[in-house]
Amino acid sequence: MFNLIFLTALICQHSLTMTLDDAMSISLENNISIRKAEEDILSAKAGYRKSLSSFLPTISFSSAYTRYPEEITQPTIGGGEIVLRAKGTHQTGFSMSLPVFTGGARIAGVKLNSSLLEIARNAEDMTRDQIAFGTLSSYLGLVQAVKSLKIATESLEMARENLNLTSEMTRVGMLTGLDVARAEVRLAQEEANLLKAENDLENAVNSLCDILQIEKTQITVVEPVFHGVILPGPDSCLEAALNAPTMSLAEASLSTAIAGKLSSASSFLPTVSLFAGYNWSGNNFEFGEPNYYGGVQLSWTLFQGTARVQDFLSSSSQVRSAELNVIDVRAQTASSIEKQYRDVKQAILQYESALKTVEAAREAYDLTDKMYKNGLATSLELLEAANTLEQARLAEVSSYYGIYISYAQLLTTMGVLNDFISSGGLYEK
């Protein structure tokens, strides 16, 4: 079952009960980076469709009417006259053009915009995984801060009880003033620890509210119930990571650079277009006989200084740079997977060790406390036992949530965190 953890002394009058699933939904809905990534995808889709339209003909309609101050005529031999220019003339028609060869520029444009669309999609996937990881980390940081505050509060109460007991035992002559002074020092230390825990709690609230992009508020968080770590082999993790958005983004950037190089190479080749038209012209809105035409046009830029050569050299360098980036991203991904895989296993071992340490520290404290009450242990020994127990409990809380933060980091590198959370694979919804 879920455990409710109540936060106290927070910032505003409003109150909000929130599960980890609620936090995930709010962060993904409110985040500006995701909305921007979605708009980038829409823009890239429009650019891709625009590049496809370059294979279609361009059809235009035009109509013009011109009015002159006077009519110009010329007499004829028979005593008549002919109109050289009427007061009003008009021309109306349709025209069409269709490039049939552009040296590969249109194909390069389609490939370029297809790669840009792939980049936009991968960027959105990466953004969602990063926001999911940030939300998970902040939420667990808040839960950990609440538990740390609880430990600090309990330790302070134990220190108060110890001071009262020490004072009473000193009054009856069983202990000395030095023991009272040590108990007072312990109480002061625990009060300082409580203040630090309260400050850490406030910072954790601020961090979660910032990533959720909501106002600072009093929150009741629900401790998530995790399903446990399902850790595939390192080779499977690496294979997933090499198909993740980070790697796909690098490969799409390479495709973009190749398309740019193809486009710059096409500038050295001629372009061939078909054209045709159909129009009417006449005087004073009287339509004459229609005219039509058609033909083939060839255009070839033979010299443009060194501009085209420099463009080609620049695009070639961009391709080589993108190829090196793919190699670098692949190597970094392999290194990250290796490290994060070790981190998850190490976090599990640390938690198992922390559990044993807490159990041993609690037994040691209980025994020391009994001996102290019977005059068989010193106040210094009791103080050391109390500090050891408190640190062990804090380490247990930190190591437990450290497992799932490191696990989430591994899933992020593999590019599956958001999908894994959505499917309910990480924790109970």
The pLDDT value given to residue 285: 64
Token representation of residue 119: 């980049």
3-class DSSP assignment, residue 408:
helix
Strands 72-75, 81-85: parallel, antiparallel or unpaired by DSSP? antiparallel
The pLDDT value given to residue 5: 44
CA distances, 345 to each of 145, 354, 411 (Å)? 24, 14, 14
Pairwise CA distance, residues 257 & 262, whole Å: 9
The pLDDT value given to residue 175: 83
The pLDDT value given to residue 14: 52
Interior/surface letters 327-363, b for 16+ CB within 10 angstroms, e for the rest: eebbeebeebbeebbebbeebbebbeebeebbeebee
The predicted model scores a pTM of 0.82
Q: Taking a C-beta distance cutoff of 8 angstroms, is the pair 244, 415 a contact?
A: yes
3-class DSSP assignment, residue 16:
strand
Q: Where are the beta strands (DSSP E) in 86-217?
A: 88-101
- Angle, helices 245-266/105-171, rounded to nearest 10 degrees: 150
DSSP codes of every residue in 246-304 = HHHHHHHHHHHHHHHHHHHHHTTS-EEEEEEEEEEEEETT-----EEEEEEEEE----B
Q: Where are the beta strands (DSSP E) in 341-427?
A: none
The pLDDT value given to residue 101: 93
The pLDDT value given to residue 350: 96
Domain boundaries, the chain: 3-422
Radius of gyration of the chain (CA): 38
Domain 3-422 has CATH 1.20.1600.10: yes
Pairwise CA distance, residues 112 & 264, whole Å: 12
The pLDDT value given to residue 11: 37
Q: Taking a C-beta distance cutoff of 8 angstroms, is the pair 123, 253 a contact?
A: no
Q: Which of 226, 208, 224, 235 is nearest to 407 (CA)?
A: 226
Q: What are phi and psi of 88, to 5 degrees?
A: -130, 130
DSSP codes of every residue in 322-354 = HHHHHHHHHHHHHHHHHHHHHHHHHHHHHHHHH
The pLDDT value given to residue 13: 43
Calculate ∠ Cα 390-394-395, nearest 5°.
115
The pLDDT value given to residue 366: 94
The pLDDT value given to residue 287: 66
From first to last of the 429 residues of the chain, give the pLDDT tens digit.
334 444 443 434 456 788 999 999 999 887 899 999 999 999 999 999 999 999 999 999 998 888 777 777 777 777 677 766 677 777 889 999 999 999 999 999 999 999 999 999 999 999 999 999 999 999 999 999 999 999 999 999 999 999 998 998 888 888 888 889 989 999 999 999 999 999 999 999 999 999 988 888 777 788 899 988 988 899 999 999 999 999 999 999 999 999 999 999 999 999 999 999 998 877 766 666 788 989 999 999 999 899 999 999 999 999 999 999 999 999 999 999 999 999 999 999 999 999 999 999 999 999 999 998 888 888 889 889 999 999 999 999 999 999 999 999 999 999 999 999 998 888 887
Pairwise CA distance, residues 192 & 198, whole Å: 10
